[in-house]
Amino acid sequence: MTPPAASVGGGLPPGARFAGGAVAGPPGWHAGDAPADRDLAQCVACGLCLPHCPTYRLTGLEVASPRGRIAAMRQVATGRRPLDRVFEQAMDLCLGCRACETACPSQVPFGRLLEGARAQAEPGRAAPARLARWIGLEGVLGHPPLLTGAATLASLARPVLPPRLRRLVPAGRLRRRPLAAVTEPSGPRRGTVAVLRGCIQDLWYRDVNRATVTVLARAGWRVVVPAGQVCCGALHAHYGHLDAARRLARRNHPVLAAADHVVANAAGCGAHLRSYGELIGADDLAARVRDLSVFLDEHGGPPLRHRIERRVAVHDACHLLHAQRVRDAPRRVLGAIPGVELVPLEEPGRCCGAAGLYNLLQPRMSAALGAARAESVDRSRAAIVAVGNPGCAMQIGAQLAARRSAVRVAHPAELLAAASRP
């Protein structure tokens, strides 16, 4: 054994310190909702989330990664950095797709952290941005008549909108015929299912809602569309308007809680309803909410009488795959349709870039992600891409149109309704 060259052990060189201990000052958070220290501490900075984050993949920037965003929140939480415009931008670039949650072995509740961070970023925004968000979220989305008005305007204005926006607004007239309040099953009744109508879904995709009601009724359920329901509040929560989100949740809670089951056919709404427990303590309701595909998978679907001879690709909505951890249910349900051949998409689980209002707020990043997703849909050589979320349907539809692709976007409910025709 040779003699040691220098003292063994020793410390770190100047400028280095052990991470995690230093608190520079009081937390930089405002009063109100904020990322919880407990949640922040759960991240061990291993970096396994990086490759799963769509914005990191595109930019290579730590600040555009989940680990980086958490580190940024920690900088504010430990008083090292102020709550400023840079922080706000870092939080805004996140899609909120929560792919990082699926990848995270430490089970960091990233979605919850992001909502807290965005609630913090909100008061610091420039006045016009704040006003636009307020009008959009608290004004329009919360009030069905205003929303209908806005949608009508958008439809009428479609021909004169810039191409990027035009593609996002589905063509054709808005459906006026309302959904039936109660639909009785054709055969014996298995129970009552309440369907969440949704906002965007009900305005632009009312046919999807109608198909959902039809499919559930054909599967033997008494289907109700409760009248008093309002927007679920998902977008409000994702964009930091947590108080508004709670108000909406409290209104929906008694309206929906009466049914045996609650079914959502929009992944984003379903995921949010399932978080009502965390949000307002409505665990009873949250536990009974299912995405349509999961509900049919658990309880059995309608009798399938017609063949659909098509190659079908399933695009996983982030709020189904990552937020609700559902992957197989839509594939099983659609795969049961005679004639359907399921084909895989490259990069399964990758966000399409719609992400709520993201395609309006971060158009460049959103377009890059959407184009990539549409390209993989095209390459799959599917005839139909099944999408269980209106935002994704708009985004993928727009991007497919831009590519002049022949692939058709459909909601699983529409395919099931077609296959279960009497």
Partner 1 sequence: MAADPLTLGLYARDASIIEGGCALVVLPSSADEVQACVQVAAREGLAIVPRGSGTGLAGGAVPLGDALVIVTSRMTRVLDVRPEDRLAWVEPGVLNQDLADAVRPHGFTFAPDPSSQQASTVGGNVATNAGGPHCLLHGVTSGHVLALDLVLADGARVRLGSEGPLAPGYDLRGVVVGSEGTLGIVTAVCVRLTPLAPVVSTCLLAFPDPLAAARCVAACIAQGLVAAAMECMDQASVRAVEQYVHAGYPEDAGAVLLVELEGLAAGVAHAVAELGTIAGAHGATSMRVAADEEERGQLWKGRKHALGAVALYAPHYYLHDCVVPRTRLPELLADVYRIAAEHRLLVVNMFHAGDGNLHPLFVFDRGEEGVLERVLTASQEILERCVAAGGVVSGEHGIGLEKRDFLPLLFSAADLGAQACVRQAFDPDGRMNPHKVLPAGARCGDFAMARGDGDLAAAVRSLPAGTWI
Binding residues for partner 1, rule: CB under 8 A, are: 2-22, 41-42, 44-51, 56, 60-63, 67-68, 71-72, 75, 80-81, 86-87, 90, 103-107
What's the closest the beta carbon of residue 86 comes to partner 1, in angstroms? 5
Tokens matching residue 396: 């993928």
DSSP bridge partners of 387: 315
What's the closest the beta carbon of residue 322 comes to partner 1, in angstroms? 15
DSSP bridge partners of 289: 262
Nearer to partner 1 by C-beta: 189 or 325? 325
What's the closest the beta carbon of residue 99 comes to partner 1, in angstroms? 12
Nearer to partner 1 by C-beta: 39 or 207? 39
What's the closest the beta carbon of residue 324 comes to partner 1, in angstroms? 17
Q: CA-CA-CA-CA torsion for 137, 89, 39, 248, nearest 10 degrees?
A: 0
Mapping DSSP to helix (H, G, I), strand (E, B) and coil, where does residue 223 land?
strand
Nearer to partner 1 by C-beta: 8 or 160? 8
Q: Buried b vs exposed e over 32-49: b needs ≥16 C-beta within 10 Å?
A: ebbbeeebbebbeeeeeb
The sheet with strand 341-343 has its strands ordered as 341-343, 311-315, 384-387, 408-410
Q: Which of 208, 203, 181 is CA-nearest to residue 194?
A: 181
Q: Buried b vs exposed e over 334-354: b needs ≥16 C-beta within 10 Å?
A: beebeebebbebeeebbbbbb
Nearer to partner 1 by C-beta: 144 or 349? 349
What's the closest the beta carbon of residue 65 comes to partner 1, in angstroms? 9
What's the closest the beta carbon of residue 417 comes to partner 1, in angstroms? 32
Query: Which position has the token pair 């509900």?
Result: 295
Nearer to partner 1 by C-beta: 45 or 343? 45
Q: CA-CA-CA-CA torsion for 278, 279, 285, 290, nearest 10 degrees?
A: -80
Nearer to partner 1 by C-beta: 6 or 160? 6
